[in-house]
Structure 1
C-alpha cells in the first residue's frame, strides 16, 4: 500500500475530466507535488502543481517528461485517445496513434521511471477501461486490452521491489471523451478519482468500478456470445 501523504505524483492526461480530478484528489490527500502532464496547458493556481507537456505518441516527448519527473513516487498513466472508426477501415495513422498513446507510450514512461518507483517503493496506477474486455471501442479496445496485460506483467516484474501496481477498469465516466448528450449512468470523475486513491492506499491490485465494468468483467469466462450476442445468429 502507498500513502498519498507527502507523495510526488505524476498524472498524464491531466487536462481531461478524470485527469483533473486525479490531480485535485492527490493534492487533497496531502501530496507534496503533482506533475500534471498533458498535450495542452492547464492553469492550476496551486504552487504544488507543475504543468508539463507530453505527447505519449512521441518517444522523445516521453523521455523528456521522464527526465523532468525522476522524483515521482506514484505514476498514474491516465492519458488516452478514443478515436471512432473500425480497425479495417480507419486511417492506419489513427490506429497507430491510438496504440502509441494508449499502450506503447505509457509503457515507455513506466520503464523510464522504474528506478524512481523502485527506490520509493511507490505505486504504478494504470487507468485502463471496461473496454479492455469489450471490443466495441475498436482500436481503443485493442490498446486497452494490451494495457490490461501489460499491467499484469508489470505487477509481476515490480513485485520483488515492493512497487504496487494497480489496474483500474471503470465503466463510462462523465468526461468529454464520452460521446452524446445523455450523461445518465455515467460516473462522476471526482468519485472515480477518490476510489482510485482509496485502492492505492489499501494496497489493492485491481479496481473494477461501476456496474457496467462489473457486468463485463463477470462475463469474461462465459462464451463469446455473452458479450457479443449478435454473434449468436451466425
Structure 2
C-alpha cells in the first residue's frame, strides 16, 4: 500500500512511537494525519491534526470517528504497561492494562473498520512472559489474537502486527538493557505497510522468540 496521499490516524501520538508514526507518515506524503491523544494540547508536531481520543472511552472513540472521517490508515499505538504480576499484583491495574491494550484497541478498530490498512503495535511479550510485566504480557497476547482475528474478519484490509522488544520510549524509562531506536522501529513498520506485510518483527530478540514459538507449535 502506498502511503502517499492517504489519510491516517495515529493513537497515542503525543510522544514515543506514536509521535514518530505521525511524523514519518507526513514525511511519506500522507495528506492528512490525525494525531490522537487523551490530551491533544500535548501534541506539538507541525502539520498534523490533533484530536482528543481516550481509547478506553467508547464515547470518546465515537467522537473521534465522527471527526476523523475518511481514515485509510489506522495506527493503533496507544497502550500502557503498569508492571504487574498475576499473583501479587494489583488486579485493578491488570484490568486497566487489558481494558487499554485489548479492549481499547478493539473499540478503535470497530470505529474505523473501513480503513484500508490497520497496524497494531504489539510486543515481543505477546509471545513471552516476564516477571514484573505479566499483566502487560497477557494484554499483548490478547492483542495478538485480536490482530489475527480482525485480519480474518476484514479480508479486504491489510491488518499488520508490529512486534518489538524494549524500545527507547517513556514506557521503558529506567530500563538499563539494550533498547531499539523508536524512529527505526516506525520506519520498519511503515515499510511493512507499504510492502503489504501482515507481521513486522523489529529486532533480533523478537525474531528469536517468534521462531521459538513456531518451533514449539
Same fold (TM > 0.5): yes
TM-score, with normalisation over the residues of structure 2? 0.92
Structure 2 equivalent of residue 42 of structure 1: 42
The number of residues matched between the two structures is: 214
Quote the offset at 1:138 in angstroms.
1.0
Q: How large is the Cα RMSD of the aligned pairs?
A: 1.7
Structure 1 equivalent of residue 119 of structure 2: 125
Please give the secondary structure, in 2, of the residue aligned with 1:144: helix
Check conservation: 2:122, 2:140, Cα contact below 8 A: yes
Whether 2:216 is the aligned partner of 1:190: answer no
1:156 to 129, 152, 159: 152
Check conservation: 1:174, 1:188, Cα contact below 8 A: yes
d(CA) in 2 for partners of 1:87 and 1:53? 32
Check conservation: 2:117, 2:159, Cα contact below 8 A: yes
Structure 2 equivalent of residue 111 of structure 1: 110
Quote the offset at 1:102 in angstroms.
0.4
Structure 1 equivalent of residue 24 of structure 2: 25
d(CA) in 2 for partners of 1:59 and 1:45? 26
Structure 2 equivalent of residue 139 of structure 1: 135
Structure 2 equivalent of residue 209 of structure 1: 202
Check conservation: 1:208, 1:214, Cα contact below 8 A: yes
Check conservation: 2:4, 2:29, Cα contact below 8 A: yes
d(CA) in 2 for partners of 1:96 and 1:45? 32
Tell me, which stretches of 5 or more residues in structure 1 are unaligned?
225-234
Quote the offset at 1:180 in angstroms.
1.8
State the 4+ residue runs in structure 1 displaced beyond 6 angstroms. none
Quote the offset at 1:185 in angstroms.
2.5
TM-score, with normalisation over the residues of structure 1? 0.86
Check conservation: 1:164, 1:203, Cα contact below 8 A: yes
d(CA) in 2 for partners of 1:223 and 1:152? 19
Pair member with larger Rg: 1
